[in-house]
Amino acid sequence: MALIITDECINCDVCEPECPNNAITQGDEIYIIDPDKCTECVGHFDTPQCREVCPVDCIPEDPNHVENQDQLMAKFVKLTAK
């Protein structure tokens, strides 16, 4: 399942550089996560790095982009293929 940043985001800038897939970018008001790039860090780390560094805990699972571990791994493989 891709993650989403809620409006509780304080724009602290710590999540963006932690994303190994470059899925996090600055939106109009808060940071946003591209669900096509978010693998919840599957393939890179054991836990989502954005969640690890977020000081306000505003990065839940995105109910509009439900994926299982196999789908997240397939997305990782696709994103990292050269």
Position of tokens 């509780």?
Answer: 8
pLDDT at residue 82 greater than cutoff 90: no
Confidence of residue 2 (pLDDT cuts 50, 70, 90): very high
- Check residue 25 and give its pLDDT: 97
- Check residue 29 and give its pLDDT: 94
Confidence of residue 19 (pLDDT cuts 50, 70, 90): very high
Q: Each residue of 35-71: pLDDT tens digit? A: 999 999 999 999 999 999 999 999 999 999 999 999 9
How far apart, in whole angstroms, are the C-alpha atoms of residue 54 and residue 74?
Answer: 26
How far apart, in whole angstroms, are the C-alpha atoms of residue 9 and residue 60?
Answer: 12
Q: Where are the alpha helices (DSSP H) in 1-82?
A: 49-53, 69-80
How far apart, in whole angstroms, are the C-alpha atoms of residue 50 and residue 14?
Answer: 8
Q: Which top CATH class is 16-80? A: alpha beta
* Vertex 58 angle, CA 43 and 29, to 5°: 105
